[in-house]
Structure 1
Amino acid sequence: MSLDDDMREALDMFVTEARDLVQGLEEGLLELEDQPAGGETVNAVFRAAHTLKGSSGLFGLRHLVEFTHVVETVLGSVREGQLDVTPGLVSALLPCTDHISAMIEGIAEGRLEPDASQLADGTRLLAGLSPYLDGGAAPAASVATPGAEAAPAEAAWRLGLRFGPDCLRNGMDPLSFLRYLSTIGTVTGVVTDASGLPDAEEMDPESCYLSFDVDLVTAAPKAEIEAVFDFVREDSDIRITPSESQLDAYVRAIRAMPENDRIGDVLVTSGAVTEMEMAEALRVQQERAVREGTQPVPIGEILIEQGIVQRDIVDAALTRQRRTTETRSQDTRTIRIDAARLDKLIDLVGELVIAQSSTGVTPGVSAETSNEAQGEVMRLVDEVRHSALSLRMVPIGTTLRRFERVVRDVSMELGKEVSLTITGGDAEMDKALVERISDPLLHLVRNSLDHGIEPAAERRKHGKTQQGTLRLNAYHDAGNIVIEVADDGCGLDRDRILGKAIERELVAPGTALTDAEVYNLIFEPGFSTAEKVSNLSGRGVGMDVVKRNVTALRGSIEVETTRGIGTTIRIRLPLTLAIIDGFLVGVGPSSFIVPLDRVTECVELPPGPLGRDCMNLRGEVLPFIRLRQLFGIPGEPARRQNVVIVEQSGQRTGLVVDSLLGELQTVIKPLGVLFSRVRCISGSTILGNGEIALILDVGTLIAGHSDREHTRQAVAVG
C-alpha cells in the first residue's frame, strides 16, 4: 500500500490525533477503575475507541480497525450497563491500549500492514477479551491480572561454561550444574572442551581444567538460568547467549516493541540481556571512560565484547532506538498552540511594525520624541519575546498523569496498595523540558514504589494506613518549575547510606558529613543500599543517570527525608531552555553570565579575607571561587574586586570577579560537540557589541570547588 504526498500529510495528522485518543482511552480506563460508576468517563472512552476505529477505516488500516472494533464492543457493553467495570476488565483492556499505541507508532514509521509478531500479540489480547464479549462478567478463572501472559514460549540458549581452576577446590562440581540445568529445561547438546588439560605429570587432581558448551531449550528467562551459576560466577567465565536459531525471534520481538530510546532498556525488555549483565556492562563502560579519558564506548559494543549478546540483536535494538528518536524528534517539531496566544503574538508584531516605522529619521522630530519611539519598540520587542516563548509552554499535567498507569501496574506487581495524588498539573514549562524530564521522573516513581513505600503488613505494624501514598506535585518558584516526587514510606536510612559509602570508599571513615551530603550519595554511580535486587530497581544504575539528566537541563535535585515518615525528592528546572535572565560580570577581558535566579546579592571583596578562599559575610564564613584563577585568565586582577554570591541547593558560595556589568536577558547558544567535555560552562551567548560571553554552570562550579577543597584538605592532613 503506497500513499501520495497529500495522503501522507493526512496520515501524519491522523497519527497525531490517534496518539491523543489512545492516551485519553488509557486515562479513562484508569479513572473508571477508581470510579466504576463514572457515566461520563464511560462515554468518553467509548467515543475515543469509536473515533479511532472510524478514522482508521478512512485510510484502509484494517488491522487497526478490526482490533479496535473488539475493544469498542466491550466498552459498548459497559456503556449499556451489560458489563460491570472490574479490575479484571481494566487489566484486560489496558494491554490493548498498549497494542493500539504500538500499531499507531508502526504506521507513523511507514508500516501500514502488521507483521507476524504484531498479529500474534493482537490474537493473544483479543483472546483475553473474549469472556467479556457476551456482556457478562468473565469467569473467575479467566480474569486477567497485570503482567499475566500466556505460558512463556521455550527458547534455545547457548551456554559457554568456563569454570575456574579452583572450582573443585571450593567444593563445586561442574557436572552438578549440568544435571541441574536439565531440571529447568532440556539439554539438547553438551560439547566438552579439554584443550586446557596439561600433561599428566603436571596435572593437579584438585584443579578443574574442563570447559563446556551447552545447548539448552527452556521456558525459563535468562535471569533464572544465570542464577544457577551464582556460586561460581566470581572465578568462572559464564556466557549465556541466544542460540543462532533464536536470533531471528529476538530481532522480530525487538522490532515489535513499543518505542524506547534507550538501547539498554530495549535489550533487557527483550530478555536477551539481564539487568545484572547490563549493570556490569555499565560499570565497565564507566571505568574504561575514566581510565582512558575518552567518551564512553557505546554500551552495545561493550555487551558484544563481553560475549553477552550477539551483534544481530544489538543492531536490531539500535534500529529500534533510532526509530524512536526520529519519531520523538518529529513530535518535537510539532506542537499544538492555543489560538488566543497566537492571536496575541500576531497583534504584537503588528504594533511592533507600526512602532518601528515611527523611529525612522524624519525631519522636525525632536530627540525626545525619537527616544520615546525607541523605548516603545524595546517594550514591544520584550513582549513579543515573552509571547513567543509562551507558545512553547505546555502544562506538565499531561506528563504527570501518564504515571497513573505506571503506579497501577508496578503496585500490583509488587503486591502493594498505593494511591497516586497529582497536584499542580496546570504549571507550564517548555515542551522540550517536558519530554526530557519524563525518564528521570519514571525512575524516581518506580524507586519510590519499590523501596520507599512499605508492604501493607509492615505499614500496619508501624501504625500507618494499609494504602501508601505517592504524590507528584509541580509549582513555579522564582523563575523555575519545581517537581516533587514524595512518598509516605520508610524514608532513607542515614547510617546505612553512610556505611555503604564508606564500604565502597566513596567517603573516608570518620568524615563529618551533613544530612544533605549523606543523602546526595544515593546519586553516585552504582550506589545502592538494597538488600536484594528486583526487576525494578536496586542495582545502583539509575539514580546517577537521573542526576546527570537533570543537571544537563540546567536543573538541580535535592532530597528531603524523615526516617519512618517518608521521602521527598525535589527537582528544580528552568522554565525554558531558550532564554534566561542573567547577570553579566567581567574578569579581565572575558565576560561571563551568571543565571540570575542563582544570584542572591553582590558585595565588595574585603581587603583581608579570613583564609585562602573564604571571607566574613556579616558573621558568616563564606567560601568563594576566583574565576580568574579557575579559568586561567591572564593579567592582574582589578584593584577593587567584587563577589557575586550564588546559592545552589542551600549552599552559598561567592564568585570573585573584576566588574559587575548588570542584568540582561540571555539567548542561550550551545557550545557544540567540540566543547562537550568543558566543565563549569553550560553554554554561551552573543552580547550586544558582538562579543561572546560564557554562561556559568553554577551547580557544577560549586560541586567542583567542594571536591577540590576536600582533596586539598586530605592532602594537607596526609
Structure 2
Amino acid sequence: MSFEDEMKAALDTFVVESRELLQDMEDGLLGLEHDDNPHDAIGAIFRAAHTIKGSAGLFGLDHIVHFTHVVESILDMLRNEEIAVSSDLIAVLLPCRDHISNLIDGVASGHIEGTAEQLSAGTALHEQLSKFADGNSPDQRSDIAQQHEQHAQSSGGGLVDSGNWYLSLRFGSDCLRNGMDPLSFIRYLSTLGDVINLITITDNIPQLDQMDAESCYLGFEVVLKSSASKEAIENVFEFVREDSVIRIVPPRSKIDEYIDIINNLPNDDELLGEILIKSGVLTKHELEECLNLQKQRQGITRGETHEAPIGEILVKQEMLQEPILNAALHKQQQVKDTKAREKQNIRVDAERLDRLIDLVGELVIAGAGANLRATKSNDVALLESTSEVMRLVEEVRDSALQLRMVPIGTTFSRFQRVVRDVSIELGKDILLEISGGDTEVDKSVVDKIGDPLMHLVRNSMDHGIEAASIRIARGKPAQGTLRLNAYHESGSIVIEVSDDGGGLNRDKILAKAIEKGLVSEGTALSDKEIYALIFEPGFSTADQISNLSGRGVGMDVVKRNVTSLRGSIDIDSEIGVGATMRIRMPLTLAIIDGFLVGVGKSSFVIPLDQVVECVELPKECAERDFMDLRGEVLPFIRLRKMFEIEGAEPRRQNVVVIGNGTNKTGLVVDRLMGEFQTVIKPLGKLFGHLQGIGGSTILGSGEVALILSVTSMTQHYSRMEQKRLLAVPQNSNR
C-alpha cells in the first residue's frame, strides 16, 4: 500500500471516529439540561471536541481546528464553571456540533479546505458563542479564544503560566505505516504555543542499503513556550502514544525529571544538555548536577551501559524481597495482558461483513444441494458427513450474522435531538423516554428503520400529544411523554412508538375513509382495521397543514418501508389516553430458518419463527375457509387458490398454522417438506408489485422457491375477499 493510500485510510478512520464523537457530543448536550450533576457529561463533551480538534490538526485541516478551538474554549469555561448550563447555551452548541459535522462531511467528500459558505456559517456561530463569553472577559473582546486565555491566566482556570516546556520525542518505526506524519505533530504543537527550539534526531537512521523507506527513524527535541496544560500537550500525541516514546517536562520541574530523560537517552546526553541550556530550562550548573547525580545513581562512568534489571538489583542489595518482586512482575504481566485484550477490538468495514454474509449464503445453498444428493444416494456414511457439514454451516451462519448485530439504542438516541427541535417548533414540552436500547438487531435493519421511525415520532408529536393548555384542561401534566421501546418476541424485534396524547379518533378516521371511498358505508370493521386506514396513500385527518404533517404523505411510506423489510405495523389507541404504533420485523434480512412447503409443482418457504404447528385439513372443511382448532376458529388461506396454481388437489392436505403477534392464520398446502435454511434473494424491481412475496431462494435442487411475507399476504388476501364479498350483491342484481 502506498503512502497516499495509507493517508487516505487514516483520513477515513478520522471521519468515522469523528462522527462517533459528534454523536456522543450531541447525546451529552441533550442530556445536560436534565442532569443534576453534569460535570462528567461536560467533561465528555469537552473531550469529544478536543479529540476532533487534535485529530484534525494532525491532518492539517485548519478550518476544522479553527472552528472547533473556539467551541472547545467555551466548553472549557463551562467545565471550569465560569459559565453555567442553560437552554440558550445548548441551543447554540447544538448548531456548532452540526457545523463540525458538516465540515467532517466535507472532508469525507474530498474537500480538505472549508468552503466560503462553511466559513461564513462558522463566523456566525462564533458570534453567537461570543455572547456567552463576553460577561467573563474584562475587555469584552470578540475573540473567544483570547478571552478564555486571558481569563484563565488571571484566575488559574486550568492553565499554567507561560513557560518553556521540554519535549523529547522518539516516534515508533511503524508511525509512517500507520498513516501518521511526524512533522504534523510539530505543526500542531505550534497552535498551542511557540516552538522556540527544534532539533531533529537522526542517530537511528541506518545505512542507505539497510534503510526501509516505510519505517520512521526520526526523533525530535523540542522546547515549547506555551501556557497550555500538560494534558493538552499530551493529547497532541494521542494517536502515536503507544508505539512512541513521548517525554514531556513542564516548566520549572524537578531535576529528577530531567535525569529520567537523560537515563533513557544515554547517547544524547551532550545534545540534550545543549538544548536544555539554550532553551533556558536548566542552567549549566544544574546540568552538571544532573549528570553527576546520574553517575552516582548508576555507579558507572559516562558512556557505559548497565544491563541488570532494576528488580534484580534491588533484590541483590536486600532492598526488596524476591516474593514481592515476583508478585509485582506477575501484576505487571496481568496489566500487559489486559491491554493486549483491549487491542483485540477492531473496526471492520460493513461491506466486508456483507460480503461474508453473501458467501455464507452461497455456502448454505451448496450445502443444501450436497445434502439432497446424499439423501437420494441412500449412503449412510455420506448422509452423516453432510449432516455434520450442515451443522457446522449453521454455526458459521449464526456467527456471521452475530457480527452484524448492533443495539438499536444507537438509533433511538438520535431521536433525542429530533424531539427537542420539533418540540420547540411546535411550542410543546415533550419528554422522550427510551427503553430496550440494548435489544440487538441486524445492522441492515437498523439502517432501514430510521426513516419509518422518524415519520412515526414526528406524527406522534404533531397529532398525538396535545398542547400544554389542552393537556392541563384534561387533567394531564403539561409535559407530554413520547416513548421508544424495543424487545424480542418469537424471533422478531418489536419496536413501539407510544405517546400519552389524545389517541386516535376512531369515528373521524372512519368518516374520512368513507368520504374518500376507501370503505363502504355500513361495513363492519374492528378498531384495528379502522386504525390501519391511516396508512392508506393520501389519507389524513389533519385540520391544518403544517411543516410536519397534514399533507396526506408519510404514513403510507412508513407502511411500505416496513412491509419491504418483511415487517408489519399495527396500532393500539385509547381516546384521551394515548396511542402506540407497534412495528414487528425479522431480526435479519439475509438468512433465515424457513419451513419448506409444496403446492402442486411450486415450492414456498414460510419463516420458521412464524410457524406455530402443522395439522391435517379436516375433510368437512373442503368447502370452507376456516376450521375448528381445539375450540378456536382458525381462518385459513388456500395457497393454490391465491396464487392460481394449476393441478388437482391431493386427497390429503395440510394446514400450517402461523402466528403473527396474537393473531393466528392457517395456510393450506399439499406437502410439508421440513425445515430449510433460507438465503433470501431479492426479486428485483420487475416483481416489486407482487403482494405476499418477500423474496426468493434457491433450493438444493437448483429450483427457485418463493418466500412468503405472511403479514403482507394475509392483508392482501383480506382485501381480495372484501372486494369479492362487496361485488356479490351487485352481480346478483343484474
TM-score, normalised by the number of residues in structure 1: 0.66
From 592, 603, 618, the counterpart of 2:615: 603
Q: Secondary structure at the match of 1:638?
A: coil
In the alignment, the residues of structure 2 paired with residue 369 and residue 660 of structure 1 have an alpha-carbon distance, to the nearest angstrom, of 26
Counterpart secondary structure, 2:604:
strand
The C-alpha deviation readout for 1:109-154, integer Å capped at 9, x for no partner, is 11222222222221221111111234649xxxx9xxxxxxxxxxxx
Aligned residue type for 2:475: G
Partner of 2:618, secondary structure, is coil
Aligned partner of 1:333 in structure 2 is 351
Deviation at 1:707, TM superposition (A): 1.1
1:523-542 matched pairs, under 5 angstroms: 523-542=535-554
The aligned counterpart of 2:77 is 77
Matches within 5 A, 1:247-258: none
- Runs of 5+ in structure 2 lacking a partner? 143-347, 358-362, 364-378
TM-score of the pair, normalised by structure 2? 0.65
Counting only pairs closer than 5 Å after superposition, residues 647-658 of structure 1 correspond to structure 2 as 647-648=659-660, 650-658=662-670
Aligned to 1:421: 433
Q: CA deviation at 1:651?
A: 4.1
Q: Give 3-state SS (helix, strand or coil) of 2:37's partner.
A: coil
CA pair 383-332 structure 1, distance change in 2 beyond 3 A: closer
Distance in 2 between the 1:450 and 1:493 partners? 15
Corresponding residue of 1:158: none
1:385-534 alignment, distance < 5 Å: 385-534=397-546
The Cα shift of 1:634 comes to 2.4
Q: Is the 8 A contact 1:77 1:135 kept in 2?
A: no
- How far apart, CA to CA, are the structure 1 residues paired with 2:534 and 2:408? 26
Amino acid at match of 1:513: L
Aligned residues: 502
Deviation beyond 6 Å, 4+ runs, structure 1: 367-373
| Distance in 2 of aligned mates of 1:87 and 1:605 | 66
For the residue of structure 2 that corresponds to 1:333, the secondary structure is helix
Matched, 1:594 2:606: yes
**Aligned: 1:113 with 2:125:** no
Residue in 2 that maps onto 1:16:
16
Aligned equivalents of 1:712 and 1:616: distance in 2?
A: 24
Call closer, same or farther: CA 1:584–1:18 in 2, change over 3 Å.
Answer: same
Once the two structures are TM-superposed, the CA of residue 375 in structure 1 deviates from its matched residue by 5.0
For 1:706 and 1:427, the matched residues in 2 are separated by: 33
**Cα distance, 1:579 vs. partner?**
1.1
Residue 567 (structure 1) aligned with residue 603 (structure 2): no
1:702 matched to which residue of 2? Answer: 714
Question: Which of residues 618, 643, 652 is equivalent to 1:640?
Answer: 652
Instruction: Give the corresponding residue for 1:179.
Output: none
Native 8 Å contact 2:18 2:52 kept in 1: yes
User: For 1:19-98, what aligned pairs fall within 5 Å after superposition?
Assistant: 19-35=19-35, 37-98=37-98
Match of 2:555 in 1: 543
Contact 1:559 1:570 in 2 (8 A): yes
**Residue pair 1:500, 1:529 contacting (<8 A) in 2 also:** yes
SS in 2 for 1:634: coil
Aligned match of 1:323: none
CA distance 1:644–1:510, shift in 2 (3 Å): same
Between Structure 1 and Structure 2, whose CA radius of gyration is higher? 2
8 Å contact kept, 2:484–2:498: yes
1:180-219 deviations in whole A, cap 9, x for unaligned? xxxxxxxxxxxxxxxxxxxxxxxxxxxxxxxxxxxxxxxx
CA RMSD of aligned residues (A): 2.8
C-alpha distance in 1, partners of 2:465/2:586? 30
Taking every aligned residue pair, what percent have the same amino acid on both sides?
60
Cα distance in 2 for residues equivalent to 1:473 and 1:622: 31
How many Å apart are 1:440 and its aligned residue? 0.7
Q: State the partner residue of 1:557.
A: 569
| Conserved 8 A contact 2:654-2:672 | yes
Of 358, 381, 385, 2:393 maps to 381
The Cα of 1:619 is off from its aligned counterpart by 4.5
- The answer to whether the 8 A contact 1:579-1:667 is kept is yes
Q: Distance in 2 between matches of 1:370 and 1:516?
A: 53
Shift of 1:561: 0.7
CA contact (8 A) 2:605 2:705 kept: yes
Sort the Cα spacing of 1:473 and 1:699 in 2 relative to 1 into closer, same or farther, 3 A.
same
Q: Residues 228-280 of structure 1, C-alpha deviation per residue, up to 9 Å, x if partnerless?
A: xxxxxxxxxxxxxxxxxxxxxxxxxxxxxxxxxxxxxxxxxxxxxxxxxxxxx
- Structure 1 gap segments, 5+ residues each: 143-329, 337-341, 343-348, 350-366
CA contact (8 A) 2:490 2:610 kept: no
- Cα separation, 1, equivalents of 2:381 and 2:625: 52
Decide whether aligned partners of structure 1 residues 451 and 673 sit closer, same or farther in structure 2, where only a CA change above 3 A counts: closer
- In structure 1, the residue matched to 2:264 is none
Name the aligned partner's letter for residue 25 of structure 1. M
